[in-house]
Amino acid sequence: MFTALSRIIKYGFLGFWRNGWLSTATIVVMILALLVFEGLIIANVVTQTALNSLQDKIDISVYFKGEASEDEILKIKSSLEAMTEVKKADYISKDKALEIFRSRHKEDETISAALEELSENPLAASLNIKAYDPQNYQAINTYLEQDIYKSSIEKISYAKNATVINRLIKIIDTFKNLGFLSTIIFASIAVLITFNTIRLAIYSNREEIGIMRLVGASNFFVRGPYIVEGLIYGIISGLLSFLFIVPFVYYTSHYVEIFIPEMNLWNYIVSNSIILPGYQIIFGISLGIISSSIAIRRYLHI
């Protein structure tokens, strides 16, 4: 069994070298498919980090009427925190709001002087609410618009932030769909190219295959080298695709960090330097084996 397996591997490598240009073309196309696949993984990490970063910056504020008591506001706060959609709800009293306002405008003498002239605090108490997911803000807003809260709530800022939140969701969904579609297209092309390479190899070796069958070679021994060829295409393509994307990530990591400070793309690649090539190789091997199996079933009548 070991002797047969070693010969199958040997003939697989011989077939790979014998079809030099076809093998090169197959690997190039598979590399393109794998680059799109790897790009989709990295893009998903970047967009998810950007989304998480933006989620920390986006919230909705609920402003209360002057006659609303602190107990009423704290009850609404507790009811919001009981919702599964709400990450946290921070209470800002009228005094705290005035303190924050003074701090933000301490350099503006006109505003500072105007505040000193006022006999009472003009700012309203509020709740700043953060959700786990941007899509949850609609549900939170609907909850706050119930009739039981209308006597206490003056204004909800959801309408102001809704446009930004919805645009972000649409952009991310569109990007993911385009990336997924690109991966399918390039993977299909890679399968087609590998399929034709194996088909031509079977055709060029048809006399040799006939002789092998005459001397009693098993189906496994005849088919094995072509499966090995598919494996070789997948392994080489997987390794090369990762090596090609490393310098690209290295030079673009700085620019990504400018827009998304929380995302260090280079550190992500380094920390996943085993997992990512593993994904690439597994995906490449899958493409190679699928292509080889289809070609063998279609053209190797044994």
Q: Residues 30, 112: one domain? A: no
Residues 34 and 171 in one domain: yes
Mean pLDDT value across residues 200-228: 69
Are residue 33 and residue 171 in the same domain, yes or no? yes
- 289 token code pair: 């084996």
Residue 159 lies in a domain: no
Alpha helices in the chain (DSSP H): 2-18, 20-57, 70-81, 94-104, 109-117, 137-144, 158-204, 206-214, 219-259, 265-271, 275-299
**Do 266 and 119 fall within a single domain?**
no
User: Does any domain span residue 134?
Assistant: yes
Higher pLDDT, 78 or 300: 78
Does residue 156 belong to any structural domain of this protein?
no
Express each pLDDT in 133-162 by its tens digit: 777 888 888 898 888 888 888 888 876 666
What was the pLDDT predicted at 32?
79
**Residues belonging to the chain:** 302
Rounded Cα distance, 146 and 152, in Å: 11
pTM of the entire predicted model: 0.60
Domain containing 270 equals: 2-54+167-299
| Average of per-residue pLDDT across 38-61 | 76
% of the chain residues with pLDDT over 70: 79
Q: What is the mean pLDDT of residues 102-116?
A: 72
pLDDT at 270: 87
* Contact (Cβ atoms closer than 8 angstroms) between residue 37 and residue 283: yes
The DSSP code for 121 is -
Give the burial string for 89-111 (b: 16+ CB within 10 Å, else e): beebebeebbeeeeeeeeeeeee
Write the CA distances from 9 to 16, 64, 76, 238, integer angstroms.
Answer: 11, 75, 70, 19
94 within some domain: yes
Last residue of a domain, one of 126, 151, 176: 151
Question: Given 151, 183, 206, which residue is the final one in a domain?
Answer: 151
Give SS3 for 92: strand
pLDDT at 218: 67
CATH assignment at residue 128: 3.30.70
Q: Answer yes or no: do 50 and 174 share one domain.
A: yes
Q: Look at residue 199 and tell me if it is in a domain.
A: yes
Residue 8 lies in a domain: yes
Are 45 and 72 part of one and the same domain? no
160 within some domain: no
- 215 pLDDT higher than 70: no
100 and 25, same domain (yes or no): no
265 and 185 inside one domain:
yes
Q: Are residues 263 and 206 in the same domain?
A: yes
**pLDDT mean over 174-190:** 74
Which of the listed residues 151, 178, 207 is the one where a domain comes to its end? Answer: 151
Q: Looking at residues 271-279, what average pLDDT do you find?
A: 87
The 8 Å CB, 24+ separation contacts for 181-188 are 182/36, 182/40, 183/33, 183/36, 183/37, 183/40, 186/29, 186/32, 186/33, 186/36, 186/37, 187/33, 187/37, 187/287
Q: Tell me: do 101 and 216 sit in the same domain.
A: no
Q: Residue 301 — very low, low, confident or very high, per pLDDT cuts 50/70/90?
A: low
Predicted local distance difference test score (pLDDT) of residue 78: 92
| Count: domains in the chain | 2
Same-domain status, 258 and 192: yes
- Shared domain for 84 and 180, answered yes or no, is no
